[in-house]
Amino acid sequence: MDRFFSQRARNVRRSVLRELLKFTQRPEIISFAGGTPDPGTFPWEELADIAAREIRANYARSLQYSTTEGDIGLRRELLEIARAEGIRADLEEIVITTASQQGLDLIAKTFLDPGDVVYVELPTYIGAIQAFRAMEAKLVGIHLEEDGMDLDALRGRIAADKARGERAKFIYVIPDFQNPAGVRWSEEKRLGLLDIAAEEDLLVVEDAPYRPLRFAGDPVPSLKALDREGRVIFLFTLSKILAPGLRIAALIGSREVVDKIVAMKQAADLCTPALTQALAREFLRRHDFEGHVEKIRACYREKRDRMLDALERYMPEGVRWTRPEGGLFLWVTLPEGVDTERMFPKALERKVAYVIGAPFFVDGTGRNTMRLSFAIATPEEIEEGIRRLAEVVKEELAALSTTAQI
């Protein structure tokens, strides 16, 4: 069989994470591993009514093929949300995608030839790593600090790559409450990144799935809203603020970019389901979307607070974590020498689960890190789960220090 596979297929493997997640689904385990939103936040009553109505009254459209660009009413609704964010775009500058993962796939296909360089955060979203690697890109990781990417390091790396004749295409970032680290970029760093992109003539891909989920801190403009040169491609999804089971997202970019992305989408899936587009459109039209998102923020704020409290209370010295102002995740860094993958089975024994950090690092580092989601567990489970996890960590540290003494 091997002779048939393409070069890119040889490089691509199933995500370690998705395989590990299978172990975490036993009901007795308190899992901070999943990347999914809390189903309690899904507006299921509204969506059930809309679904029945949209199918009955409108089946010739809602059950038929859609256009590749996507439902025009839905695009209008999403442009309005974008406008409230300071992003001005028209109908030719937006395309509906089968969730943001497809946006990443289409970006990879549209821009990346084998060997092309993409700059990413260390750590960054695994789905982006997979999409870019599937098109045989070379991913270069730049350290993520508390307020965004280390821009000096980025500048230095770009210069070095240029000197070696590498062909760079874009910088991929998740500036708001990043998956996995929960970090938010400062406005200063956002402006700095755009300066670098302009100087070095690079595109910027801004992935913003968690941006609406800010439950603390002051607003900071998106890169796309700050963009004066049309360099930023903006990915926006309803997965975390409506329901991931609809697979509805949008990509906003220049006309030239959107035109190519639409051509690529024709070859990828022709169109996103008309039915789930209709559900999203009608929810946005008929319901109080901002009020709905505010309820989700309150839900995650409470859970984050509980997780931060518990970490403070139970974790031993030397363990550090981020304090996210939004999103679903926080990021834990254990002392050097701890390997969260090796520790994983011990956590499962104690009936608590997390996601190992290393797969989020394109440079092979991050073995002492882990991602914790506060989205799914109840506040009580969060308390108890962190207590268990702290025990595991303490044992691991004790074992390490014994080994060190020997």
Chain residues 133-172 in contact with its own copies, contact rule CB under 8 A = 133-135, 169-170
| CA atoms of 216 and 277, how far apart (whole Å) | 31
User: Which one of the spans 237-245, 286-294, 344-352, 361-369 is the region binding its own copies (CB under 8 A)?
Assistant: 237-245
Cβ-proximal residues to 373 (8 Å cutoff; 6+ apart), any chain:
32, 33, 34, 35, 36, 328, 329, 355
Chain residues 201-230 in contact with its own copies, contact rule CB under 8 A = 203
Out of 18, 83, 88, 286, the only residue in the binding site for its own copies (CB under 8 A) is 18
Binding mask 326-355 for its own copies (x = CB under 8 A): ------------------------------
Chain residues 185-204 in contact with its own copies, contact rule CB under 8 A = 203
Binding mask 79-98 for its own copies (x = CB under 8 A): -------------------x
The yes or no reply on residue 70 touching its own copies (CB under 8 A) is no
Q: How far is the CB of 319 from its own copies (least distance, A)?
A: 30
The yes or no reply on residue 1 touching its own copies (CB under 8 A) is yes
Q: How far is the CB of 161 from its own copies (least distance, A)?
A: 16
Chain residues 250-289 in contact with its own copies, contact rule CB under 8 A = 254, 256-257, 259-260, 262-264, 266-276, 279
**Looking at beta carbons only, is 128 or 144 nearer to its own copies?**
128
Q: How far is the CB of 194 from its own copies (least distance, A)?
A: 16
The yes or no reply on residue 44 touching its own copies (CB under 8 A) is yes
Binding mask 287-316 for its own copies (x = CB under 8 A): ------------------------------
**Looking at beta carbons only, is 216 or 270 nearer to its own copies?**
270
| CA atoms of 6 and 73, how far apart (whole Å) | 39
Out of 16, 23, 51, 225, the only residue in the binding site for its own copies (CB under 8 A) is 51
